[in-house]
């Protein structure tokens, strides 16, 4: 299996859980040192890494090739790399920031699909989990690029799910609310006030949803958004 953003908090935590469950895991990320650390901390022969920028087509092709050569194919793909960007009201949002966030969160997710789907199609099986967010279904003030990008991942998921269902490949998104991790550094009080169950998600809760969607336990689940948000998007 392949996890992009594999050196990050959700990606590396999921990597550890999937290794425990018997998967062979390729962690993909921009950050070599963080990847080395993640592999070391998981501490298993079943995990390795590849450095790649998910926005660059030839680097995406290269990590897919590495996974196929190293592990004989890709059965599960956590299309997870993402950046949050700055927080500004829309008129003050810099064009360069907008483009950068869209490049990683939309182009990067698209490129991953483009190169992983043919590999899965060859085997006639596979499960892809894209990391969207609650920002994929509601507006997050101050975060226009992130919100647009996470909505866009749902569009990519829906198109792919329809296209590849006949090939035995499933595609879903997970949509976490703020996770107890670095990304949720802002406005804790506001976040908690808006979360009906009054707390953040844990990394384990996110990774276990990924595990469910990757496994045959979810064999009829495709084209869906799986909220892990304590009821936030019910409002």
Ligand X SMILES: NC(=O)c1ccc[n+]([C@@H]2O[C@H](COP(=O)([O-])OP(=O)(O)OC[C@H]3O[C@@H](n4cnc5c(N)ncnc54)[C@H](O)[C@@H]3O)[C@@H](O)[C@H]2O)c1
The residue from 49, 63, 146, 226 that is catalytic is 146
With binding defined as CB under 6 A, does residue 87 bind ligand X?
A: no
Whether 63 is catalytic is no
54 belongs to the binding site for ligand X (CB under 6 A) = yes
| 29 in contact with ligand X (CB under 6 A) | yes
Q: By rule CB under 6 A, what count of residues binds ligand X?
A: 29
**CB nearer ligand X, residue 11 or residue 224:** 11
Does residue 147 interact with ligand X by CB under 6 A? no
Nearest residue (CB) to ligand X, 211 versus 219: 211
Nearest to 116 by CA among 175, 171, 53: 171
CB of 45 to ligand X, least distance (A): 22
Identify which range of 23-31, 162-170, 188-196, 219-227 contacts ligand X by CB under 6 A.
23-31
Write each residue from 104 to 123 as x if it is in contact with ligand X (CB under 6 A), else as -, in one continuous string.
Answer: x---x---------------
The distance of closest approach from Cβ of residue 104 to ligand X in the complex, given in angstroms and rounded to an integer, is 5
In sequence order, the 6+-apart residues with CB closer than 8 A to the CB of 217 are: none
From the CB of 226, what's the least distance to ligand X, in Å?
A: 12
Which residue lies nearer to ligand X by CB, 93 or 200?
Answer: 200
Instruction: Kindly state the tokens that stand for 170.
Output: 């499933």
Residue nearest to ligand X (CB): 8
Q: What is the 3-state secondary structure (H, E, C) of the chain?
A: CEEECCCCHHHHHHHHHHHHCCCCEEEEECCHHHHHHHHHHHCCCCEEEEECCCCCHHHHHHHHHHHHHHHCCCCEEEECCCCCCCCCCHHHCCHHHHHHHHHHHHHHHHHHHHHHHHHHHHHCCEEEEEECCHHHCCCCCCCHHHHHHHHHHHHHHHHHHHHHHHHCEEEEEEEECCECCHHHCCCHHHHHHCCCCCCCECHHHHHHHHHHHHCHHHCCCCCCEEEECCCHHHC
Nearer to ligand X, 37 or 123 (CB): 37
Residues annotated catalytic, as ranges: 146
Q: Site residues (CB under 6 A) for ligand X? A: 4-5, 7-11, 29-31, 34, 53-55, 80-83, 104, 108, 131, 133, 176, 178-179, 181-184
């Amino acid at each position: 299996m392949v996890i992009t953003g594999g050196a990050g908090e959700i990606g590396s935590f999921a990597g550890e859980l999937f290794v425990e469950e018997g998967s062979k895991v390729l962690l993909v990320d921009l950050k070599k040192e963080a990847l080395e650390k993640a592999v070391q901390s998981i501490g298993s022969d079943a995990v390795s890494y590849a450095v790649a920028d998910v926005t660059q087509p030839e680097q995406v092709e290269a990590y897919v090739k590495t996974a196929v050569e190293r592990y004989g194919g890709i059965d599960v793909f956590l299309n997870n790399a993402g950046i949050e960007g700055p927080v500004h009201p829309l008129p003050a949002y810099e064009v360069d920031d907008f483009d950068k966030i869209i490049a990683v969160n939309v182009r990067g997710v698209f490129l991953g699909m483009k190169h992983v789907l043919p590999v899965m199609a060859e085997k006639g099986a596979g499960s892809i989990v894209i990391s969207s967010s609650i920002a994929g279904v509601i507006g997050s003030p101050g975060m226009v690029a992130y919100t647009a990008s996470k909505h866009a991942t749902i569009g990519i998921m829906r198109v792919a799910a329809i296209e590849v269902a006949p090939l035995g490949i499933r595609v879903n998104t997970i949509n976490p609310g703020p996770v107890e991790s670095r990304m949720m550094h802002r406005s804790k009080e506001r976040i908690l006030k808006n979360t009906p169950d009054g707390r953040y998600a844990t990394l384990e809760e996110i990774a276990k949803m990924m595990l469910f969607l990757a496994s045959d336990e979810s064999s009829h689940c495709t084209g869906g958004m799986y909220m892990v948000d304590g009821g936030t998007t019910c409002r």
